A and B are shown apart, each in its own frame.
Chain A
């Protein structure tokens, strides 16, 4: 699996994501600085990591979404490339318009950092194929703005098209429809607030996130 991780000023989960890609996919992820105008050739997947790109100025992810590299990421996604955005990466993807909705301040106004229980809602995506439908997994969240905003029409569409990847069991942040992660229409872009890369190795205290990366790697394994 040929992967790249985008690095913005203020990204802080970029190395963790690169390690998770490498452990599952067997080759090092390429780190791509936000000022680049193109992605490395032949990529299978682009990761947009967590952190506080550009200090969360204006809106979380807003400035990053207008950076030169994001134009290349949008083109890559439109050509059917796989894009995984975690936490701040999810916020960036909604700001680019690759994913619907938006992430607002948590309903309790607090920064929340803890492990949360999720339900895998669909296995019909390259990201969730390594899980069972309805499987309960525990993954950490660490965010101040993870309150997914979607109106009734959008929620209905996401349900009808089976595009909710993960839901919170006990909604921590006020997200509409308990949504923790959503897929794009072509199911090849996933944004999620929880951090699977933080529990993808037993040495980190858990492996519930590993199946996401293993599933991706399998999809790209030589037959």
Chain B
């Protein structure tokens, strides 16, 4: 099955790239963007077919490598 992992900086950790995007949007005339947080999307193709086992596996990957949980948070979606 497939898994999608979103990794973003934790709330409260300054995101300079998100801030730069917000500034650029404002300069382009997109008004009313109060905050921008950017992150990364990681798509995984898994041999595992059991959703529960797949989710456990992907969460372990996130904890050990895909996210740095000191500064980042992640979400896992399976399909």
Please determine whether chains A and B interact with each other in the same assembly. Answer: yes
- Interface residues in B9-48 by Cβ distance below 8 A to A read 9, 12-14, 16-17, 20
Select the stretch in A44-52, A58-66, A123-131, A155-163 that faces chain B. Answer: A58-66
Closest B residue by C-beta to A95: B68
- Asked, given contacts A58-B65, A62-B65, A66-B65, whether A174 binds B70 with beta carbons under 8 Å apart, the answer is no
How far in angstroms is the closest Cβ of chain B from A171? Answer: 13
Contact with A109, one of B12, B17, B64, B65 (Cβ below 8 angstroms):
B17
Contacts of A174 in B (CB 8 A): 14, 16
Q: How many A-B residue pairs have CB under 8 A?
A: 36
> Number of contacting residues on A, CB 8 A?
19
Check if A72 is an interface residue, CB within 8 A of chain B.
no
Is the CB of B78 closer than 8 A to any CB of chain A?
A: no
CB closest chain-A residue, reference B71: A102
Across-interface contacts of B17 in A (CB, < 8 A):
105, 109
Task: Tell me what chain A mostly uses at the interface: helix, strand, loop, or mixed.
Answer: loop
Q: Is the pair A104, B66 in contact by a Cβ cutoff of 8 Å?
A: no
Which B positions have Cβ atoms within 8 angstroms of A? 9, 12-14, 16-17, 20, 64-66, 68, 70-71
Q: 10 smallest A-B Cβ distances: which pairs? A: A102-B71, A102-B70, A107-B16, A105-B16, A149-B71, A109-B16, A109-B20, A102-B68, A59-B68, A149-B13
- Given A62-B65, A106-B16, list of 20 further CB < 8 A pairs? A58-B65, A58-B66, A59-B68, A66-B64, A95-B68, A102-B68, A102-B70, A102-B71, A104-B9, A104-B13, A104-B14, A104-B71, A105-B16, A107-B14, A107-B16, A109-B20, A149-B13, A149-B70, A149-B71, A151-B12
Which A residues contact B (CB, under 8 angstroms)? Answer: 58-59, 62, 66, 94-95, 100-102, 104-109, 147, 149, 151, 174
